[in-house]
């Protein structure tokens, strides 16, 4: 298991498009105007296991999100990484 979880709440996404700009490795805009995680089925909540080397990408996306729908968690403790 990879040590971190990248979390996206698509229900509350406002579709600003900032997260793919700063973390294109994991995020892309969907045709419905909301962001989605790449290579994942469209669901209201998306979670992806990521490595420590990818935390910075996820945190950049989290910090630019005006709707606060992107988070990075420690997979073992479930504590949010800020």
* Residue 19 belongs to domain with CATH number: 3.30.70.20
Contact 66, 16 (CB under 8 A): yes
Residue 27, classed as helix, strand or coil, is: strand
> How high is the pLDDT of residue 1?
73
Q: Which two tokens stand for residue 61?
A: 């996306």
> How high is the pLDDT of residue 73?
98
Q: Which residues in the chain land under pLDDT 50?
A: none
* Residue recorded with tokens 């209201």: 44
φ/ψ (deg, to 5) at 17: 85, 5
* Residue recorded with tokens 């105007």: 33
Q: Which domain range does residue 63 map to?
A: 4-81
* Number of domains within the chain: 1
Burial class (CB in 10 A: 0-12, 13-18, 19+), 48: middle
């Amino acid at each position: 298991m990879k040590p971190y979880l990248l979390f996206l709440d698509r229900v509350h996404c406002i579709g600003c498009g900032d997260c793919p700009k700063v973390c294109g490795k994991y995020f892309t805009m969907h045709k419905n105007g909301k962001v989605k995680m790449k290579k994942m089925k469209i669901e209201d909540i998306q979670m992806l296991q990521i490595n420590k080397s990818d935390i910075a990408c996820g945190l950049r996306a989290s910090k630019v999100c005006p709707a606060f729908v992107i988070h990075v968690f420690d997979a073992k403790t479930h504590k949010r990484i800020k």
